[in-house]
Amino acid sequence: MSVLLSSKNIFLSTQPSGNLSNVDDGINKFRACLNNIPLQSGLNQYGKISLIDFHMYRNFYKVNQTNNTFFMEVTPASGDKIYKTCTIPPGDYRLGEELSTAVANEVKRAFATIDGQSLSSVGTILPTTDRRVNQNGTGILDFVLTPQNNSAISDIKFQCRNYNSGKNTGADGDYNDSYALLGAKRVTQADASLPAFTTESLSVAPGKVANTWQIKGYYQMQDATIPYVFLRCSEVLENLESENYRLGEGTTTDTHIIQSTTLAKIKVGLEEVEFLGDTSTPYSIMTDNRNISQLFFQCVDQHGRSLPAIDKDQTTLGNLFLDMTINYSVYSRGVGQPENTNIENNGLNNAMFQTGIR
């Protein structure tokens, strides 16, 4: 039976109060430096690291660079196909007409960059209400596009590409969740046959009114695609996760189980990202590292991507930061309890974590 020998809390804030090191920022890569007071355990002892509480303001948009990009192919009645990238302006949109209008207006904007189409319009935007408050509406994207010169257009197609480049490079912008946001059909990667689209994400057909196009989704829209923030820690060695939590590290997206550096999975609220632990909701790990001089942390989304900061300075000069409490407790190893010999060198582990390998 193990016996608690000592316990201490570590209160950690990443809000800048001076110059930051070239290693740290407020969210994506930060550390607790313990050189002067390392976390130590002795012979026949082990440590337990637990997340007690966590708080950050949701100072990132629900519609952002991880979910707001899709692609349009316009086939003129004569001439080569025309390709446009549609990017919904980042922001928080009410689910229903407001988000549908933002999508429709972005299609109109992209269409207006085609010669002869600058005065194209959109109308009859549905759903007109939010399906989540028991009001009318299917929650499915549905709008009408009226090109200025419809006789010059023979076809319109859209793609919501899971992997834009056709192969995941690990870059945050390479993987996109627009299909989930729009309720569209997922295109697994860019067509090998580009520039022609052979797969489509939205239903497009001539509208009931002459010279219009009816553009519809297939499934209910959603107003956000980051439901949780994942707190990763370099000292986590024994947790496991499915591979589709780590899309930034390879092309495999199935549910095979691999080692994980995730310490906690924290719900994203309307205004805050917050966790308050108790004995019924523990986030903790055991460690046989007897001298911990640094703990490295990252906050990422459910695919291992950096949280979608509004600009590159928000985590160092802006307001994307957090406060949290970590507990470190030391226990005696129970009689007959074997020591964990399947652990990695902590220095190597930290190096791998910092370079994004873990």
Note whether 181 and 311 are same-domain residues: no
Handedness of CA 20, 26, 30, 36 (dihedral sign): positive
Note whether 230 and 207 are same-domain residues: no
Q: Which domain holds residue 112?
A: 69-220
Note whether 56 and 74 are same-domain residues: no
Note whether 233 and 212 are same-domain residues: no
- Helix or strand or coil: residue 250? coil
Can you give the pLDDT at residue 156? 93
Note whether 187 and 150 are same-domain residues: yes
Can you give the pLDDT at residue 314? 92
- Helix or strand or coil: residue 121? strand
Residue ending a domain, among 220, 255, 271, is 220
Can you give the pLDDT at residue 62? 97
Per-position b or e across 185-194, b if 16+ CB within 10 A of its CB:
bebebbbeee
Q: In terms of C-beta density within 10 A (0-12 exposed, 13-18 middle, 19 or more buried), how is residue 102 classed?
A: middle
Note whether 73 and 190 are same-domain residues: yes
Positions of E strands within 113-267: 121-126, 140-146, 153-161, 186-187, 203-206, 213-220, 228-233, 240-242, 257-259, 262-267
Can you give the pLDDT at residue 22? 58
Note whether 198 and 235 are same-domain residues: no
Strand-by-strand arrangement of the 69-76 sheet = 82-87, 69-76, 153-161, 186-187
Residue ending a domain, among 220, 245, 266, is 220
Note whether 75 and 188 are same-domain residues: yes
Note whether 44 and 75 are same-domain residues: no
Residues paired with 4 in a beta bridge: 331
Can you give the pLDDT at residue 344? 44
**Residue 233 sits in a domain of what CATH number?**
2.60.120
Q: What is the pTM of this model?
A: 0.86
Note whether 203 and 256 are same-domain residues: no
Residue 209, both tokens? 């009114």
Can you give the pLDDT at residue 1? 73
Note whether 261 and 180 are same-domain residues: no
Look at the chain and report how many structural domains it folds into: 2
Residue ending a domain, among 186, 205, 220, is 220
CB neighbour list of residue 242: distance below 8 Å, 6 or more residues apart? 254, 255, 256, 257, 258
Note whether 302 and 214 are same-domain residues: no
> By the 8 A CB rule, do 19 and 317 touch?
no
Query: From first to last of its 358 residues, what are the pLDDT tens digits of the chain?
Result: 789 999 999 999 998 876 656 567 889 889 899 988 999 999 999 999 999 999 999 999 999 999 999 999 999 888 788 999 999 999 999 988 899 999 999 999 999 999 888 888 888 787 766 666 555 668 899 999 998 888 888 999 999 988 776 444 445 556 889 999 999 999 887 766 667 788 899 999 988 788 889 999 999 999 999 999 999 999 998 888 888 777 655 555 667 888 889 999 999 999 999 999 877 777 999 999 999 999 999 999 988 888 999 998 998 889 999 999 999 999 998 755 555 544 444 544 554 454 444 4
Residues paired with 49 in a beta bridge: 285, 328
